[in-house]
Structures are given as structure tokens and as C-alpha cells.
Structure 1
Amino acid sequence: MCEARQRQQAQATQQALKTALTRQQNSCKGANDQLSAQLETTQHALTLKTQQLHRSIVYAVAHDGAAYTGLGPDGLQRYRVALGYPTDDNTALSAPAGQPAGVAAHAAAPVKGLGPEALLHHASDYGAWCLTLRAQLQAINAFYSAQERPRDEP
């Protein structure tokens, strides 16, 4: 009789463990699916933003004009946006007071280096890469934070 009772108790415990394991696996799968969807949405938004930045580069370089041998105010603003710095339209970068540093046509042509357009494209790509890494890290942290939270069992 004692052995039968222990066997029943062991079977009940085993069934409870199986139920708890199934519940935990379902919970992990749901959290994983949700975080994967959020990450995919974030990566899509970053891709769209990068494409938008790439389209605005030609305008920025042309709008800065020939007075700059590097990045002018519009180019610098695109550079900051590409790297994920916050922008405030009220504090948009503007041309420096007084005379420009010189006319690009009067400057000696660089033997090597990147022009404004190439630099802005690089900043856009690098910024998107950094923001993608940040989004992935946030998703991983959210996943593990969800796993560590105690679950209320019904």
C-alpha cells in the first residue's frame, strides 16, 4: 500500500513537471515570436530610414554649394542624422557667420580621401549598422528579462 501511494505521488509529480515544462516552452515560444517580430519591424524601419538618407545626400551636397571643401551645414546635419544623433528642427545647423572658409574650386584637389557624398553614404550605412546592432541587443535583453520574471501559475 505504501509503495502504491509513492508510485501515485511520483506519477502526479511527473505529470505536474511535464505540464510546467510544456507551459514554459509555450511561453518562451510566444515571447520569442513577439520579440522576433519587433526586431524585424525595427530593422525594416531602419532600412527605410537609410534609403531616405541616401536620397537626401545629393540634395544636401548640392545645397551646401561650392563654398565647402568638406561637409557644409546640410551635409553635417545629414551626417548627424545618419549616426542616430537627435535632431531638433529649431536648432538646425546653419552656415557660419562671416565669410566661408574658401571656395572649393580654389582648394587643391585632394590626392586621396572621401568627398562629401561618399562620406555621407558611409555615415548612413554605418549608422544603420549601429542602430541594427542596438535593436538586436535590446531584443536579446528583452527576451532574457522576460525569461527571468517569475511567472504566476494558475
Structure 2
Amino acid sequence: MIRVQHIRVIEDHAGNPVVLLSDPETGMELPIWIGEVEAFAIQRELEGVQLPRPMTHDLMRNILVELGVELVRVEINELHDNTYYATLVLRWNGRTFFIDARPSDSIALAVRMNAPVYVAEEVAKAAGYFPQPSRKEIERFMRLIKDVELPEM
């Protein structure tokens, strides 16, 4: 699993909302097209905007917190027919629960509860892209060229 370090909401060329999950360590960027309501919910939380009344994802967080349920992590773990699948990993009363959920709802909840988001490597390889070399690749390259001696000109 690849741990997501950055979550952003952007628009594609047609104006459709996309949540972009990225990890500088591996260089992975995974775009997931989502609905406008979910995009608003994620972006609002990322920007720290508070509404006077709780919206759906706020309600979900409030219920979990009040009941003492911990959101351990979110896993974006499958991709079938261009549809992503996610799992909420919850802990309550010493037990762990795995709940099937949409990635957009899962991410909206994760940003509210400061829970980590992970992407399965198979999903990242199938649908993500790696536009820049990862930190590991850069470090490996730097070690390689460190010992190279150039002839004097």
C-alpha cells in the first residue's frame, strides 16, 4: 500500500471535479473523478471552512467520535470497470471492522478525522501515473553519479 501524502480537489478540462491523491515518496498521482457534492465536502474540510450545520460527512464523523469509533485508515484497494472501491478500517471496543465505501465518501471522512489514506499498489499501477521520479529514484541516481569521475577538460 502507498500512503497518500497530499489530497487536492481539482477540475478536469471539462470542469468535472477530481480528487487527486499523491505521494512524493513514490511519485504517484492518482486522479479519481467524484461528484460535486463530495468534492465540495473534501475541499471545504481541506480549507477549514465551517458551516453552521453539519453536512453528511460531518454527521458521520460526529457519530463515530461520539461512539468512540476510531477511523484507523482508508484504503483505496480495488478498481473494476473504471470504478474505484474503498474500505474504511474502523476500530471500536478492541475490534476491527472493514466497511465497504465509495472512495469519495471515505476521503471526505478521512480528512475530517485526520486518518491516513492508502492506495493499493495494483490500483496505483493500473490507474495512477508517476510524472516525476520518486525520491527513492533521485537518491539512487545521486548515489550512482556521486562516484563518477569526469575527465578533466
Give TM-score, length-normalised by structure 1: 0.25
Q: Judging by fraction of residues, say which structure has more helix.
A: 1
Taking CA–CA contacts closer than 8 Å with sequence separation of 6 or more, which of the two structures ends up with the larger relative contact order? 1
Give TM-score, length-normalised by structure 2: 0.26
Q: Judging by fraction of residues, say which structure has more strand.
A: 2
Computing the radius of gyration from Cα coordinates, the structure with the larger value is: 1
